[in-house]
Amino acid sequence: MNRALQISASKQKLVQAAAEKIIENLDAAVRKRGRCSVALAGGMTPRAIYALLATENYRSRVEWPKVFLFWGDERTVPPDHPDSNFRMVNESLLSHIAMPAANIVRIKGER
């Protein structure tokens, strides 16, 4: 794994590089293990990356049925609340990809 510091010329270049690295890692994990588990970050910082992964050029390169998504954090709000990390991921990524509901393991912040 390459852990070298990479500097991007712009936010867009950073988002593209991050999306490419995510796809590379998802593909490698699926090839090696037949599936992949990912802990998602919340907040607004990763939103642009999730949105780019949802575009046709990126989403078609991922075997989404073999990917399992987990939340690394969540706010204590319902999943449709404006502050919900699940809502942000759902709007920017999940609503644009074909992923089985069973592969989406959210934190139930409303509890």
As given in the structure block, the two tokens for residue 35 are 């599936």
- 4-49 tens-digit pLDDT: 888 888 999 999 999 999 999 999 999 999 999 999 998 888 999 9
3-state secondary structure string, the chain? CCCCCCCCCCHHHHHHHHHHHHHHHHHHHHHHHCCEEEEECCCCCCHHHHHHHCCHHHHCCCCHHHEEEEECCCCCCCCCCCCCHHHHHHHHCHHHCCCCHHHEECCCCCC
- 42-93 tens-digit pLDDT: 888 899 999 999 999 999 999 999 999 999 889 999 999 999 999 999 999 9
- The strands making up 104-105's β-sheet, listed across from edge to edge, are 36-40, 67-71, 104-105
Pair 24, 66: CB distance under 8 Å? no
pTM of the model as a whole: 0.89
